[in-house]
Structure 1
Amino acid sequence: MIAHQFLGLAALTALASACAPELLKRDGWRGAHIAKRAEPGARAWSFELAEAWNQLNPEWSTCYSGRRQSPINLRSKWGYYTQEPPTFHYPKNLTGKIDNWDFGPQFSIEVDDDNKTAAYIEFDHDGDPEIAYFRQWHVHTAAEHTIDGYRPKGEIHFVHYDDAGVPRSVIGFFFDRKSKYDDYNFNFTGPAIDATGSAFYRQLEPLELPDIFSNNTLEGVELDLNLLIKEAKDYKKFWTYKGSFTTPPCSEGIRWFISPEIIWLSDDQTESLLRASTFGDRPVNSVWDHDINV
């Protein structure tokens, strides 16, 4: 009887694996990644349990009860922000380090004692000028925000803090690979895609990006963030809203700027980035008190 039960369970497991292989891969459900996540100081959450984050830690209750949670589904019918765009003050060569934040590559720079960095943005917030300093970018695959329900291959977040060390703004970029077989041709109005892909990503091509199993850190990496701004058509068109971080504790008070211009990667670039990443996208939240394009 026990043997029959075991065989039945094994058969069901095999069937589930065959029918839903992504469930086994999501959030690094693989031995080496699990071992890394079990190390001291490892994250106590996963994207697989995003809808239960408030149950894992009472300090994460905002993840469930917050009025301005991110990400959201962005809708083209809303139009775009028509006031002043953010002003980018990014030096041409910014030196930092690249590691893996358990779900994909991230780049971070040193922060001065006064919480300032050499790279910063200026933007209008409720009628008042504000400055926020760049600290890092990181990658989510697939994209967290969606556009009219369309979810690009991934999303890059440029995270900025004020001079008090409080997180204030995230600049978002979508990336995807352009396929001649794609029926969904959202916002593709430019010339044929360069076979070499994204100029911004070409800076990463000589590097061996740390993957989700790795604890390696690449020091002294120089990047030009302006290349990504240029690829987003100088960030002249964007959505903006009041939201939150997309990971625990889901802190609100974040001003989001998101360009609808897709950053198109070559096949090789896409494969390289996905090889260093794993599923890391929070489900979209209902629009509530987000003050979209206000």
Structure 2
Amino acid sequence: MKFDGRDVFLTGWHIHAPSEHLVDGRRSRAEIHMVHVTEEDEEAAVVGIRVGVGPAESESAFIKQLGPMVHFNDTSQVEGLQVNVRLAIEEVGGLQEYWTYKGSLTTPPCSEGLRWFIPKQELLVSEAQMVEILAASRFSHRVTQEVWLHDINL
């Protein structure tokens, strides 16, 4: 990914449930965070994709590729998995329309000065996929923060 004239690289992703970002005062059922770093391994950006339940025929190819999810309090070892994160970006229309602002990580160390990108479109999943997501990650969101002096741009 490239922004502000520099390349950043995906270093990891995780899911919060419910979402950490609100749109018109409403939380989505979950939110995927894709954390990006610079070449020097400095945290630089997060793409936050809100996740909601779509019509009955909705099924996310991104979520489907993950296979069965491990329950949030299960202590089993999980084998590594090749994940195509671009599927999630494609399923929300690419990064054609998004909100952006400077903020911080929402998990420790809560580093500040990162650029957030929040696509306007939700990633739609089936009800069964949402059940899987919530079994793996629930009540894992950060308390809503004040906007303070952050500009939020579209």
Q: TM-score, normalised by structure 1?
A: 0.50
Identity %: 38
**Residues 200/194 of structure 1: CA separation in 2 closer, same or farther (3 Å cut):** farther
Maintained 8 Å contact 2:56/2:127: no
Tell me the residue number matched to 2:45. Answer: 169
Which one of 89, 106, 121 corresponds to residue 246 of structure 1?
Answer: 106
In the TM superposition, residue 194 of structure 1 has moved relative to its aligned partner by 6.1
**Alpha-carbon shift at residue 175 of structure 1 (Å):** 0.5
- What letter corresponds to residue 269 of structure 1 in structure 2? Q
Q: Could you tell me how far 1:218 is from its partner in structure 2? A: 2.6
Paired residues for 1:58-207 under 5 Å: 121-124=1-4, 129-178=5-54, 193=55, 195-205=57-67
Deviations 1:52-83 (A, max 9, x none): xxxxxxxxxxxxxxxxxxxxxxxxxxxxxxxx
CA distance in 2, matches of 1:134, 1:215: 26
- The answer to whether the aligner puts 1:230 opposite 2:97 as a matched pair is no
What is the CA-CA distance between 1:162 and the residue it aligns to? 1.0
Shift in Å, 1:257: 0.3
- Alpha-carbon offset, residue 196 of structure 1: 4.7
Structure 1 CA distance, aligned partners of 2:63 and 2:123?
10
Partner of residue 131, structure 2: 271
Give the whole-Å Cα distance in 1 for the aligned partners of 2:124 and 2:77: 26
Indicate the structure with greater helix content. 1
Structure 2, unaligned runs of 5 or more: none
For 2:78, the equivalent position in structure 1 comes to 218
Ranges in structure 1 where 5+ consecutive residues have no aligned partner:
1-120, 179-192
Deviation at 1:204, TM superposition (A): 1.7
Q: Which amino acid aligns with 2:3?
A: F
Aligned residues of 1:240 and 1:258 also touching (Cα < 8 A)? yes
Larger radius of gyration: 1
Match of 2:140 in 1: 280
More strand, by proportion: 2
What residue identity is the alignment partner of 1:123? Answer: F
Do the aligned partners of 1:210 and 1:217 also contact (CA within 8 Å) in 2?
no
Q: Which amino acid aligns with 1:122?
A: K
1:263 and 1:249 map into 2 onto residues whose CA distance is 27
Q: State the alpha-carbon separation in 1 of the partners of residues 147 and 99 from structure 2.
A: 14
Q: Is the 8 A contact 2:16 2:30 kept in 1?
A: yes
* 1:278 CA displacement: 2.2
Asked if the contact 2:13/2:35 (under 8 Å) is kept, the reply is yes
